[in-house]
Amino acid sequence: MKAASSYVVDLTKIDGEGDVPCPLCGTLLSPEDETETTYKILETKLKNDSLEELVILCKKCGSKIHLVGFLI
Predicted structure pTM score: 0.87
Residue 31 lies in a domain: yes
β-bridge mates for residue 54, sequence order: 44, 67
pLDDT score recorded for residue 3? 55
Burial class (CB in 10 A: 0-12, 13-18, 19+), 53: middle
Residue 34 lies in a domain: yes
Residue 14 lies in a domain: yes
Give the start-end residues of each E strand in 1-72.
6-10, 20-21, 28-29, 39-47, 50-58, 64-68
Q: What is the pLDDT along the chain (72 residues), one digit of tens a residue?
A: 455 799 999 999 988 777 899 999 999 999 888 888 999 999 999 999 999 999 999 999 999 999 999 875
Total domains, the chain = 1
User: Which residue range(s) make up the domain with 51?
Assistant: 6-68
Residue 1 lies in a domain: no
Pairing of strands 50-58, 39-47: antiparallel
